[in-house]
Structure 1
């Protein structure tokens, strides 16, 4: 099922999302629908608030790898890197955003298994972007002025 992607004016995008308490069939179906939706647009990640669900989960599809992240938290950051980012909830806008170059993130997968993963470069950027969505933060809140990308 293709889901509607909410845009910047929708209040769900500005709320801190709630933890997923139980990974049940509804959560698994939501993840499946989010992947299906993501594959119809030009994006690498989609957070539950972007499809109207105030839940701490997102899907990432990058470099032929699909990942569901549930209740993610960044536990370590290293370095800085400014690069251009876009957002499916702000169509047509691309802006420079400063992010950590390397991160360590902890999350649960669809089986409820806790995973600790190190990510760097584009993977780190995608994780940070999607986790920002779960905290009600959009790229327009992170604009870097007068920087070279």
Structure 2
């Protein structure tokens, strides 16, 4: 089924509410998503974005890409209330990120890489340390068709990279330090420190490149 028909079917079924999240192992998460190029029309694209936001909030999460609800299209939504302790916020560069939509996003590294635990709504129950640039130049289009280039740092940069990677058929585990993989329960019990330094020493992986 072509992408426009897939979106129309999804909107008809889940209009105004969250859609089910696709889980790792589904081929749509391994496709290179199709660029948004006017094929949906503004109204249908807007309804897709509403469903993405509803899905992100319901999960809850800090980002959802269209492939995660079965749509191989280069669009995602982001937003992070950053309800964490001051110690964690400082260590991870995590601060509130207002909700916004990214269409046809791209990014280029603008700083050295740093490793932190991250997870994914399409692979629930686990997290792993991923080395990512601490700062990126993020380019994307909004729903009004305006192209933006912003420098993102800290956790907002990590979220943008994670969701943009989804649009290239990449999941976070592809870039993870595999020896760092842990269940959410073990992470909470043993490795809940602001940085993964203790986990890196105990489990034998590189905290940073």
Task: Output the TM-score relative to the length of structure 1.
Answer: 0.95
Instruction: Please tell me whether the aligned partners of residues 76 and 163 of structure 2 are also in contact (alpha carbons under 8 angstroms).
Output: yes
Higher RCO, 1 or 2 (CA under 8 Å, sep at least 6)? 1
Determine helix, strand or coil for the equivalent of 2:169.
coil
SS of aligned partner of 1:39: helix
Counterpart position of 2:75? 57
Structure 1 or 2: more helix by fraction: 2
Superposed CA offset, 1:24-80 (max 9, x none): 111110111110111111310000000000000100011251110000011443211
CA distance in 2, matches of 1:64, 1:79: 22
Counterpart mapping for 1:1-149 below 5 A = 1-22=17-38, 24-62=42-80, 63=96, 65-144=98-177, 145=179, 146-148=205-207
Q: Which runs of 4+ in 1 moved over 4 A?
A: none
Q: Which runs of 5+ in 1 are unaligned?
A: none
Gaps of 5+ in 2: 1-16, 81-95, 180-204
> Quick one: distance in 2 between partners of 1:94 and 1:127?
17
Report the Cα distance in structure 1 between the residues aligned to 2:79 and 2:103, rounded to whole angstroms.
Answer: 15
Q: Return 20-29 or 10-19, whichever deviates more.
A: 20-29
SS at 1:26 equivalent:
helix
Normalized against structure 2, the TM-score is what? 0.69
